[in-house]
Structure 1
């Protein structure tokens, strides 16, 4: 493809297109060969795309290019919602079968975190996690697992004060919420202990993708007297396995 025959936007899109089509990433030379653009042009385009987080580079020398956080978000946000919900339901059903408690998957939309799937065994606790229900950013374990990984601009848009005290255990100070987010990033999971309902407890793990942001989380909830009978690691091990399973599915279905 001749550079003279393409506009600036077309050149950027072409580079992103060939990189997105590669599962193992592409070198600068490979992008040159696939696009037909001159090497200096590809160097300039990839540099700009990295700055915009549309592409990422494996190392400081920028030898291997992959899709970046911003491009990944566009791909994920553009996925058919019914397809996502169907895959999420499969993961939730599998998780609930193993642990015999309610499991759910939530997603970050523009200004809210909403559940996309839920599976509850006969004795499962059904409160707060009906499909489509909105979860409070400062209290729900799954919302915490997502918000902890967002940039400051997103956080400023979503975390609106004053924070509602849903129970006496709800954190209503921004400093306390932010401290908990640091713990989420350090430990890899979030907890909601009587913060939405005084009888309910929940754990959640973010759905992590390499070099990308977090849009989804997997959670487990139930009566506190039942959830607290098992150590945290019992729940986190199962939830993390489900989150990894869901990430693997979405990695294979980018569109």
Structure 2
């Protein structure tokens, strides 16, 4: 009824909305005053939201609350990929011009990993990782570079058998795929060595966002004969540098949206 007090879910949402709308963060007194909730109730609700990662707070006496990492991640996962594709294209064009290989950025979705931007060289063999293309989670370097940083329940959702055997080198054992994901997390990059095409390799690095973790990765792909002309470390160093630049761009964009 119209005169009823808001239920618990509505009260949580009220707090999240006003904190997200604030450019400087809010104290408990601010939250209580803006929502009309008793201070004791606001304290209990904000504590639960902090424990869940939806809010974050500093360690001062008059604590200031802001949007937490988990909430930022949710917002990023629900955001329009076009919002980040422009930044991605800048970096991808630079990489493609430098190395004359196809470069691309992919993004984690609810049930797949898709390319959101690509840059192909003007000359030579082009490998088409088109925007919107779904990448096989058990084989594509870019998909593995993202899944390696996801919680177990997300990995379980993506790694559903049977895995397609695309070449003789495609790994189709769930335990082997999971072992590879652990290795990727340790070393910080992923490789697809002829697992999708008999003549094609790819390298990929995760894009570590401060607020949302890893939901994007940056990849480079080309014929084995060309990529093997240079040491693996050269490709990985270039990709990691570009991934760091993209992470900064994406984080800056998130901060701008959050304070606009």
Give the TM interval when normalised to the shorter protein.
Answer: 0.7 to 0.9
2:215 matches 1:227: no
Measured against aligned partners, the alpha-carbon deviations of 1:14-46 in whole angstroms (never above 9, x if no partner) come to 432454456786665675677675543333222
SS state of the match for residue 110, structure 1? coil
The structure-2 alpha-carbon separation of the partners of 1:120 and 1:10, relative to structure 1 and needing over 3 Å to count, comes to: same
Aligned to 1:159: 159
1:1-255 equivalence runs, <5 A: 8-20=8-20, 38-56=38-56, 65-123=65-123, 125-210=125-210, 212-254=212-254, 255=257
Q: Rg: which structure is higher? A: 2
Contact kept? 1:124, 1:222, Cα under 8 Å: no
SS state of the match for residue 214, structure 2? coil
Q: Write the distance in 1 (CA, Å) between the matches of 2:193 and 2:23.
A: 40
Q: Write the distance in 1 (CA, Å) between the matches of 2:140 and 2:11.
A: 43
Q: Write the distance in 1 (CA, Å) between the matches of 2:76 and 2:171.
A: 31
Segment drifting more, 81-90 vs 224-233:
81-90
Q: Write the distance in 2 (CA, Å) between the matches of 1:24 and 1:223.
A: 50
The structure-2 alpha-carbon separation of the partners of 1:16 and 1:231, relative to structure 1 and needing over 3 Å to count, comes to: farther
Residue 83 of structure 1 and its aligned partner are, at CA, apart by 2.5
The structure-2 alpha-carbon separation of the partners of 1:13 and 1:190, relative to structure 1 and needing over 3 Å to count, comes to: same
RMSD in angstroms over aligned alpha carbons?
2.9
Residue 158 of structure 1 and its aligned partner are, at CA, apart by 1.4
Residue 117 of structure 1 and its aligned partner are, at CA, apart by 0.5
Segment drifting more, 124-133 vs 22-31:
22-31
Q: Write the distance in 2 (CA, Å) between the matches of 1:162 and 1:85.
A: 32
SS state of the match for residue 208, structure 1? strand
Contact kept? 1:50, 1:57, Cα under 8 Å: yes
Q: Write the distance in 1 (CA, Å) between the matches of 2:231 and 2:152.
A: 33
Contact kept? 1:68, 1:212, Cα under 8 Å: no
TM-score by length of 2: 0.82
Contact kept? 1:205, 1:217, Cα under 8 Å: yes
Residue 52 of structure 1 and its aligned partner are, at CA, apart by 3.2
Contact kept? 2:218, 2:239, Cα under 8 Å: yes
Measured against aligned partners, the alpha-carbon deviations of 1:39-68 in whole angstroms (never above 9, x if no partner) come to 433332222223433234568x9x665533
Q: Write the distance in 2 (CA, Å) between the matches of 1:106 and 1:207.
A: 10
Contact kept? 1:128, 1:135, Cα under 8 Å: no
Contact kept? 2:142, 2:218, Cα under 8 Å: yes
Unaligned runs of 5+ in 2: none
Unaligned runs of 5+ in 1: none
Contact kept? 1:103, 1:219, Cα under 8 Å: yes
